[in-house]
């Protein structure tokens, strides 16, 4: 029978908790000044949002077209994105941080 290294298990659990506490998902929201479409840019990082952090993933960009864009703007409309808000989501991306 094999012995379990209790200190190693505790150390691994503590490392996992520390990583979960400092790992966050950042979301930046932009809105088109012309047609009001929305663009969300998200990425995962570890660290502190307003301080030092290390990026874990590349940006993921999701654009939601507005009804105004589909109904009133020409197909070649060029968006002019204006920054709206940036927020961190802590506890593995589930809890909004402000």
| Average of per-residue pLDDT values in the chain | 86
- pTM value is 0.73
Q: Indicate the domain borders of the chain.
A: 6-96
Which residue in 90, 92, 89, 69 sits closest to 80, CA to CA? 69
pLDDT digits (tens, 9 = 90+) for 69-94: 888 888 889 999 999 998 888 877 77
Among the listed ranges 2-11, 58-67, 71-80, which one has the minimum average pLDDT value? Answer: 2-11
pLDDT attached to residue 48: 78
pLDDT at 1 over 70: no
Indicate left, alpha or beta for 33 from its phi (over 0: left) and psi (-120 to 50: alpha): alpha
> In the chain, what are the helix, strand and coil shares in percent, each to the nearest 5?
30, 40, 35
pLDDT of residue 83: 95
């Amino acid at each position: 029978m094999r012995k379990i290294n209790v200190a190693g298990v505790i150390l691994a659990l503590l490392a996992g908790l520390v990583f979960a506490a400092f790992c966050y998902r950042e979301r930046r929201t932009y809105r088109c000044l012309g047609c009001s479409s929305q663009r969300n840019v998200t990425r995962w990082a570890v660290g502190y949002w307003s301080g030092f952090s290390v990026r874990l993933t590349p940006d993921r960009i999701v654009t939601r077209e507005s009804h105004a864009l589909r109904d009133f703007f020409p197909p070649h409309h060029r968006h002019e994105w204006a920054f709206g808000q940036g927020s961190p989501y802590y506890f593995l991306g589930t809890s909004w941080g402000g």
